[in-house]
Amino acid sequence: MPYVCGSRFRVRYAETDQMGMVYYANYLVWMEVGRSDFCRECGFSYRDLEREEQAYLTVAEASCRYLAPARYDDEVFVETELSRVSSRLIEFSYRIKNGDTLLAEGQTVHIVIGADGKPRSLPERYRELLKSRL
């Protein structure tokens, strides 16, 4: 069974729109929270990767399918799973829930780039840490 990282928090008022529902772009921010927590649980942070290796995970593709609205003060749970990792590409999948209600599901695809903005290989140490969660 694949490893799933869970991130839990409450919807802040500033994340809602005029209709009282969470503004759609915030779901992408929540995916980033899940992704950052996933990496920490693997044994590293984005900051480590950037500072120590000058390697950056740029988003090449993002998708989100919205199924039900979240509202102010709802407890949100983001399930993050690693779908794929290779020398230059990492893909994550997300399920965003409120209790048993599935609010949204999505994916992000990341390309590893260097400080010069050009594609490069993910350092072996980080690739192995991620692969341990597949």
* End-to-end CA gap in the chain: 9
Find the catalytic residue in 17, 37, 73, 74: 17
Give which of 92, 90, 94, 91 is closest to 123, Cα–Cα: 90
Q: Is 116 a catalytic residue?
A: no
Give which of 74, 63, 55, 67 is closest to 28, Cα–Cα: 63
Count CA within 13 A, CB hemisphere, residue 94. 30
> What is the 3-state composition of the chain as percent helix, strand, coil, each rounded to the nearest 5?
25, 45, 30
Phi, psi of 96 (to 5 degrees): -110, 125
Write out the two tokens for 61. Answer: 């593709």
- Active-site positions read 17
